[in-house]
Chains A and B, each alone.
Chain A
């Protein structure tokens, strides 16, 4: 490749990087919009920042925050467990297991989660009494549906069962992204199918599973706000109860939005950590990323034009 280099060249050539005038125009527009927005946020008294920050640590808001966080966590755990089971059924050799899993997905993805929430909350209308026992046999346990289905259990069922259907597809995508050769290689060194799944398949599938699951978790955090329809006192419902009394609607919605933003930021950071963990052995993606200065995006490669050998 270097055959054309002339040994008698007096000086080394200087390379100058391309300029990007379009980027500078973009930056100017963004700065203009940003400063206008910032100015209005700071000077418009109707935002009532005093009220916003006054309610930030209100006991009712904090209690709602706890409910939202716990509900998100429980619904996601239920969803992940269901998702793994449903995805395994969906790639199983049994036609009946595959069909059952498919039917579940069809139903829970095919109806609005809001309907599912209200449905679970009103389960007592369809089944006033619940009993656990063998079909046609005597009951081991019986009880009133309305004692079991509280707003909280209805919310967990509605959100978790619905989430399971979505996560099933995410987990399945992860499983089929791992080439068959990996299963064969694991089998050839004498790993059982369970060992192969845990040690070989799942760690590789996780690269595909984690990003959309992070998305789902952040989505779930906000979907939990739907439980206000069944009168469960989550973050949004707590704020609604307060502004129904004080009519400070906008400041209270800003207040809870700040909390939602904080929680989603924490979740995004956590997702980044998990992704980096599973990027072992993979070039690109998040694995070998170099630190870049904020202006690197403007100037191109982040490395100023220089002399190339």
Chain B
């Protein structure tokens, strides 16, 4: 049951909304324990790509694998059978996610937000779940905010609680969907600091959709540049985040593409 490998492999992933093809056959391989940043202009499909990995967005064609498991399907008698809700939840427990708008549960305190997954999905007892949640809040520097409701926290603090909530499931893989885009400029640094620290520990795979080019340069092992539903370039930050890589990338880096 315990998978050793937690790499991500996408093969020919297609997503359509009506006539519009958001992902046009994307293939990508992300090694385990690495940090991959996905960048590109808005509407390029980068958030959709991220959301296919834990099947918040079901895909129309192709396969998504995390480790040796195909996400959302099970192979039996030569066919792919769509998983039940319960089985899909079991897969999602291995995959953490941090959202642009935090999506904290407003009726629960910080420590309850973080402990909810361990308590309900992993069925830990209340004291163990709470201790795990407190430990994670300490890691993101919010011990004193444990009993605050999300509405009483700043955006940066909320996002750090959200990161702790994702970590509480001890995931092998964490997806970050533009984690700093909804923050006031002066709050971005505290969230990036937590993510940087996480990346340095190197025990999880991180996939980060971001507009923070500086962060990508500094932290990423690989950078994926997306444009119009396709991957334009993959490589090290130095290779991809360089004006010579392609005219589109040059335009993006100079700020002419948003």
Interface residues, chain A, with chain B CB atoms under 8 Å away: 179, 181-182, 184-193, 195, 199-200, 203-204, 278, 280-283
Contact = CB atoms under 8 A, between A and B. Distances in A.
Given A199-B116, A281-B150, A189 B165 contact: yes
Nearest to A200: B105
A188 B97 contact: yes
Given A182-B103, A188-B92, A283 B151 contact: yes
Interface string B102-131: 011111110000001100111000000000
Nearest to B106: A281
Contact of A181 (B101, B107, B109): B101
Given A188-B166, A190-B90, A190-B93, A280 B99 contact: no
Interface residues of B, number: 32
A281 B148 CA distance: 8
A179 B93 CA distance: 22
Given A189-B165, A199-B120, A281-B151, A184 B103 contact: yes
Contacts of B106: 204, 281-282
Contacts of B96: 188-189
A204 B86 contact: no
Contact of B105 (A185, A187, A282): A185
Contact of A191 (B97, B104, B108, B120): B120
B56 A195 contact: no
Contacts of B93: 189-190
B120 A195 contact: yes
Given A280-B107, A283-B151, 10 more contacts: A181-B103, A184-B56, A185-B97, A185-B165, A188-B95, A189-B168, A190-B93, A190-B122, A192-B86, A281-B151
Contacts of B105: 182, 185-186, 200, 204
B157 interface: no
Interface string B23-55: 000000000000000000000000000000010
Nearest to A203: B107
A195 B108 contact: no
19 contacts: A181-B103, A185-B103, A185-B165, A187-B89, A188-B92, A188-B166, A189-B92, A189-B93, A189-B96, A189-B116, A189-B121, A189-B165, A189-B169, A190-B89, A190-B117, A192-B89, A195-B121, A199-B120, A281-B107
B149 interface: yes
B154 to A, nearest CB: 15
A203 B106 CA distance: 10
Interface of B: 54, 56, 85-86, 89-90, 92-93, 95-97, 99, 101, 103-109, 116-117, 120-122, 149-151, 165-166, 168-169
A261 B54 CA distance: 55
Nearest to B148: A281
A34 to B, nearest CB: 41
Contacts of A283: 151
B56 A187 contact: yes
A76 B184 CA distance: 47
A153 to B, nearest CB: 38
A204 B93 CA distance: 23
B108 A281 contact: yes
A249 to B, nearest CB: 51
Q: Looking at A179, A182, A187, A283, which has the most chain B CB atoms within 10 Å of its CB?
A: A187
Given A195-B120, A199-B116, A283-B151, A187 B103 contact: no
A188 B56 CA distance: 8
A40 B220 CA distance: 84
Contact of A282 (B95, B109, B121, B151): B151
Contacts of A179: 103
Nearest to A189: B117
Q: Looking at A184, A185, A195, A281, which has the most chain B CB atoms within 10 Å of its CB?
A: A185
A193 B85 contact: yes
A204 B104 contact: no
B36 to A, nearest CB: 18
Given A181-B99, A200-B105, A283-B151, A188 B121 contact: no
A280 B95 CA distance: 29
Nearest to A193: B85
B107 A190 contact: no
A275 B203 CA distance: 45
Contacts of A188: 54, 56, 92, 95-97, 99, 166
B107 A204 contact: yes
A77 B124 CA distance: 34
